[in-house]
Amino acid sequence: MANSPAPADIDVLGIGNAIVDVLSHADERFLARSDLAKGSMQLIDATRADQLYRAAGPAMEASGGSAANTIAGLAILGARAGFIGKVSNDQFGGIFRHDIKSLGIHFDTLPATEGAPTARCLVFVTPDGQRTMGTFLGACLELTELDIDEALVERAKITYLEGYLWDPPHAKLAFLKAAEAAHRAGRMVALSLSDAFCVDRHRAEFQQLVENHVDILFANEQEICSLWEVADFDAALQKTRGKTRIAALTRSEKGSVVLSGRELHVIDPAPVMRLVDTTGAGDQYAAGFLYGLVTGRSLASCGRIASLAAAEVIQHLGARPEVPLAEQVLSDFV
């Protein structure tokens, strides 16, 4: 028999990689000089991260990482949000902690006092809006099940996890501990598959996760096709039916599809006046969708809010909605 859960005073609790995003504009010559393949994401070490940081132009620094961006978006939209992620007790760790808490997000994961420094992602945005990233994972790889506060998980209506957590073995245990604590308390678990290459690395385990531990699944077209090893989106859609309570599948300029039981909603993409930076589109889609869900909207409305949030974030630099535009996103849904 399940224990009586604590009051749900947090709408969404995110668990993920705690990374400081360092975003700057760059041209093709800078990428060539820096030996960066345009549009790629490559893992780098601490020395390379320091070199790129010194070489970058004026930059915007903010707490980042996929799940953290989603949680920040939720807070900006007005949800009660929390986050669990590992930083080091250093300058970048201080930036992450200050930035995420300034949004009103509950964040009290103890920093590491030894070992690798705080993770950072150097994001170089070219004039066409394409992003090229060098990511140093650092301290966020040290997240363990000891960092999971089960009482905090029980307080959240939804615990949101990113697929990238499945790479480090300690974080995998943290992931499962959080999912089990959420379900014991009668709460929901959401998962973003994060990246098609991540799905390729862990396909069989992800299939088991989706069927046994996940209530709400977020994936783009490439990720969901990789998950079920099918060649086209329609086949992936049919494979996803019945595997989880809700699935929100994005298709870039083709919009998205939301599945739940016999329900199927095709969501048109929101208009984009000017593409500036594609960073965070999927993260903010999830933020908009979860915001709609925790505020009692229909699944179709959740999808429309998600589409608007994704369109808003790619029209300016950075992976989070700008506050006035976030208010505009919600104006039709009040």
Please write down the HEC assignment for all residues of the chain: CCCCCCCCCEEEEEECCCEEEEEEECCHHHHHHCCCCCCCEEECCHHHHHHHHHHCCCCEEEEECHHHHHHHHHHHHCCCEEEECCCECCHHHHHHHHHHHHCCCECCCCCECCCCCCEEEEEEECCCCCEEEEEECHHHHHCCHHHCCHHHHHCEEEEEEEHHHHCCHHHHHHHHHHHHHHHHCCCEEEEECCCHHHHHHCHHHHHHHHHHCCCEEEEEHHHHHHHHCCCCHHHHHHHHCCCCCEEEEECHHHCEEEEECCEEEEECCCCCCCCCCCCCHHHHHHHHHHHHHHCCCCHHHHHHHHHHHHHHHCCCCCCCCCHHHHHHHHHHHC
Residue spans per domain, the chain: 10-18+65-116+138-332
Stated pTM of the model: 0.89
pLDDT in tens, 70-118: 999 999 999 999 999 999 999 999 999 999 999 999 999 999 999 999 9
Of the two residues 333 and 179, the one the predictor is more confident about is 179
Is 3.40.1190.20 the CATH classification of the domain at 10-18+65-116+138-332? yes
Q: What is the pLDDT of residue 317?
A: 67
pLDDT(132) > 80 = yes
Using alpha carbons, select from 5, 10, 2 the residue that is nearest to residue 157. Answer: 10
**What is the average per-residue pLDDT within 234-251?**
95
pLDDT in tens, 230-241: 999 999 999 999
pLDDT(251) > 80 = yes
Q: What is the pLDDT of residue 325?
A: 58
pLDDT(303) > 70 = yes
Report the 10 Å Cβ neighbour count for 64: 31
Average pLDDT, the chain: 90
Q: What is the pLDDT of residue 43?
A: 85
